[in-house]
Amino acid sequence: MNEGASAEPSKSGRWQGRGLAALAGAAAALSMPPFGLWPVLFPAMAVVCGLVALAPDRRSAAWLAWFAGAGWFAVAMHWIVQPFFVDPVRHGWMAPFAIVLLSGGLALFWALSGWIAARLCVPGAGRALAFAGLLTLAEAARGSVFSGLPWALPGHGLIGTEALALSTLGGALGLTLLVMVPAALAVWLYLSRRRILSALPLVAAVAICLVPWAGSAPAPLAPLVRIIQINAPQHLKWEPEMIPVFFDRGLSLTAADGTPDLVVWPETSLPTLLRSSDEARARIAEAARGAEVLIGGQRYAGLEPRNMLAHLDAEGAVVQVYDKHHLVPFGEYMPLRGLADDLGLAGLAQQLSGGYRPGAGPALMDMGALGRAFPMICYEAIFPRYLRQVERPDWMVQVTNDAWFGSFAMPYQHLALARLRAAEQGLPLLRSANTGISAVIDARGQVLASLTMDVDGVIDVPLPAALPPTTYARFGDLPALILAIFVTCAGIALHRRHSSH
């Protein structure tokens, strides 16, 4: 087909195109953990770009992009149904609605990209390139609007490759451009009747992902850190008779052989509210044998319930507390709280009446000789912007409870995003997860040690050292956003060039 040519499809042809778009989006999502089929990402996204590029009008382009996005999110984030099966009698009926609403809602960002690309460019290669830039900008917006959900960006499919090291330049949006631009260039070559060459951008992108870009990690520091993984299944975690069982397990892991300087417990591991935890903290201090402890728990700040991380000294006294500030909607709190209370609705993960309230915001924890830590609770680690709101720390720590989401996909994706945070910032990250995957990640984003899913155990590793601030640490998403705008403008210029001939 010639550049700029497009025929009005029949009704059956429209649905065939939409089905192909959904299939391509779903295939591209196989790049995400636990599948890890990242080479599929490039040709699949080329198909999506090609379909949008040849759509006859704005509405058709938007629908094709929406179906591609719906396929992508339905596969990449299928784990969203898992929390509803922790208590299937009460919540199981909600699962189909959750996956449909989530995948369909997030796909609207893709649809908007397709619509704008078709608004700016006639069918052809210029539109493909404009769509690549616009989709990257839309994914940036998705990470911010409505509290933000920067999960399952196309670039996240490359975290398991050598291209992870390039996140030091442009973060997740830079990796997304690394996916979308070669896909659009392949479409350009194909539509320009250079079909033999159309595979070259995709081959080049694959090659980039195979080149070892990362340098060597700095030598570890002297302090020894211990990460414990308690492995409390979610359906048992808050049963009254099981709470002491899991707490005793945590104490045994804390007291394992060795002399760590710091012990990190998972999210909500403290068996009582912080204000009534004197006995529990004394037992933790006894088990830690002089080590300091970071432990997740719950507390009231005045009348407000909080999901928090407490720093305990060698005697078990509370040195400082960090309150989670970015809560999970529908999990830790219900939007429109007043209406939700009237209807008797509660967040799936909330344990205190009325749901959690957010803390003051990002903060640092002064760990004395251990340096300054940047604490993150659960999915706060998927937001890169919060680190830029504080002074640069020496290391990061994430405590989480991924037991809500099963053992198949979400914990592996969550670990991958933690690796991305470490690599793009050049900072090590300590990760304690209730049922897994607990890990120690160095400043290049490489996992130095980890525990598998659904086991209890400990990791003892010297505290990794930080690298100098990366380009991403200094400028954030700005370079990638500028490049995405440039790619969009290049697509418009290409469209105008062909339109004038």
Return d(Cα 446, Cα 62) in angstroms, integer: 38
pLDDT value of position 500: 63
pLDDT reported for residue 179: 98
Spatial distance between the Cα atoms of 305 and 342, rounded to a whole number of angstroms: 19
Average pLDDT over residues 300-323: 96
Span 145-156, mean pLDDT? 94
Tell me the H-state helices in 225-298: 234-237, 243-254, 278-288
- Give SS3 for 169: helix
Q: What's the rounded mean pLDDT across residues 182-208?
A: 93
Q: In the predicted model, what is the mean pLDDT of the chain?
A: 92
pLDDT attached to residue 155: 98
Give the residue carrying structure tokens 């050049």.
426
Residue carrying structure tokens 């451009």 = 177
In sequence order, the 6+-apart residues with CB closer than 8 A to the CB of 163 are 175, 178, 208, 209, 213
Query: Residue 439: what are its φ and ψ, rounded to 5°?
Result: -160, 160
pLDDT over threshold 50, residue 347: no
For 412-447, the DSSP string reads HHHHHHHHHHHHHHT--EEEEESSS--EEE-TTS-E
Q: What is the pLDDT of residues 25-43, one digit of tens each?
A: 999 999 999 999 999 999 9
From the list 178, 191, 151, the residue with the least C-alpha distance to 6 is 191
Q: Which of 324, 332, 380, 424 is catalytic?
A: 324
Q: Encode pLDDT of 250-283 as tens digits.
A: 999 999 999 999 999 999 999 999 999 999 999 9
Q: Which residue has the tokens 């954030």?
A: 476
Q: Which long-range contacts (CB under 8 A, 24 or more apart) does 346-355 make?
A: 348/83, 348/84, 348/86, 348/91, 348/404, 349/83, 349/404, 350/305, 351/238, 351/268, 351/298, 352/298, 352/300, 352/305, 353/305, 354/305, 355/305, 355/327
Catalytic residue among 139, 209, 237, 267: 267
Tokens of 473: 């640490």
pLDDT of 14 reads: 87
Annotated catalytic residue 241: no
CA 127 – CA 117 distance, rounded (Å): 6
CB count in 10 Å sphere of residue 195? 11
Q: Could you say which of 332, 378, 380, 424 is catalytic?
A: 378
Task: Give the pLDDT confidence score for residue 276 in this predicted structure.
Answer: 96
Residue 468 Cα to chain centre, angstroms:
24
Give the per-residue pLDDT at 6.
53
Q: Please indicate whether residue 121 is annotated as part of the active site.
A: no
Using the predicted structure, report yes or no on whether residue 181 has a pLDDT greater than 60. yes
**The pairing of beta strand 395-400 with beta strand 429-433:** parallel
Look up the CATH number of domain 224-466.
3.60.110.10
Least confident of 288-297, 312-321, 436-445, 491-500: 491-500
Rounded average pLDDT over 329-348: 57
Strand partners, 91: none
pLDDT in the model for residue 354: 63
Task: Label residue 12 by pLDDT band (50, 70, 90).
Answer: confident
CA distances from 469 to 4, 213, 386, 418 (A): 45, 17, 15, 17
Domain map (residue ranges) of the chain: 11-215+477-499, 224-466
